[in-house]
Chain A
């Protein structure tokens, strides 16, 4: 009898555990997320007359379902500074403005910590878009070259 009870107890725990394992998968959030276009550029400009160079508008599209009311966040991080051979421009010289506010917010690029572009709570039941505009602080100290970097946008929940 005691042995039978123990087995039942174990089976109950296993079933409960499996339920915990399976349940979140069944209710996992669905995220649809993209940024467009896939590339932007900062044109050369005179630092005296153009202290800040503006790139083309970036559209961020996002959809989130089955969030269960959890917080969500869109972040951006750069893999490197802007680099051109041995020359570089600190990525902190790149900032952005974004609309609508909220959920979007302005910020400064980083190579080490993902910076929040937008955040909210709960489902986004139809695809929404935001506009992000990047700006590069212009400077005489930049060396001649064609610089590049890759920004990674991530939408996550929670």
Chain B
């Protein structure tokens, strides 16, 4: 009899328990976000100078600005390659005198940034990355010194291009 009583009590109370003061109601919200392609590129300096020096004591003339800080940001599709290149408009020129721009080279710091040698016909890689992101690094330029250079003030223009397909 006690077993029967226990069973009945269990059958009655157990189903009742979950119903004690429990209520809820839900509603849903659809959320969307649009991310469009965009890119940005900033250089810490718009110009740099290589000061005159004795080729014997200074075989490589560093840029007066020290390191050039580059910040590149790009939004692209997942897995795409973002690339940053630099191209010289010409050799270093002073009137009719020139210094081959291939005498200009750089070292680099920062993830994805690479060292290289300047070129006036083919853009040279400065850095590359996979997918979207924001990257910062430095380039330290130097020009190989030589007794062969004629006196003058030489100039060229470097163009940086950031590509995010």
Contact = CB atoms under 8 A, between A and B. Distances in A.
B58 to A, nearest CB: 39
Contacts of A9: 5
Contact of B78 (A6, A43, A143): A143
B35 interface: yes
Interface stretch (A97-105, A120-128, A133-141): A133-141
B25 A144 contact: no
Nearest to A145: B35
B134 A141 contact: yes
Contacts of B36: 44, 144
A48 to B, nearest CB: 7
A86 interface: yes
A13 to B, nearest CB: 6
B34 A141 contact: no
Interface string A11-24: 00110111011001
A21 B31 contact: no
A131 B35 CA distance: 26
B29 A46 contact: no
Contact of B34 (A21, A43, A68, A139): A43
B148 interface: no
Nearest to A7: B1
Interface string A128-158: 0000001010011111111111111111111
Contacts of B11: 17
Contacts of B46: none
Contact of B29 (A35, A68, A136): A35
B12 A20 contact: yes
Which are the 9 A-B pairs with shortest beta-carbon distances? Answer: A17-B12, A156-B24, A140-B134, A42-B33, A29-B23, A39-B30, A21-B16, A44-B36, A33-B25
Interface of B: 1, 4-5, 8-9, 11-13, 15-16, 19-38, 40, 73-78, 131-134
6 contacts: A13-B8, A21-B12, A39-B32, A94-B31, A134-B31, A143-B76
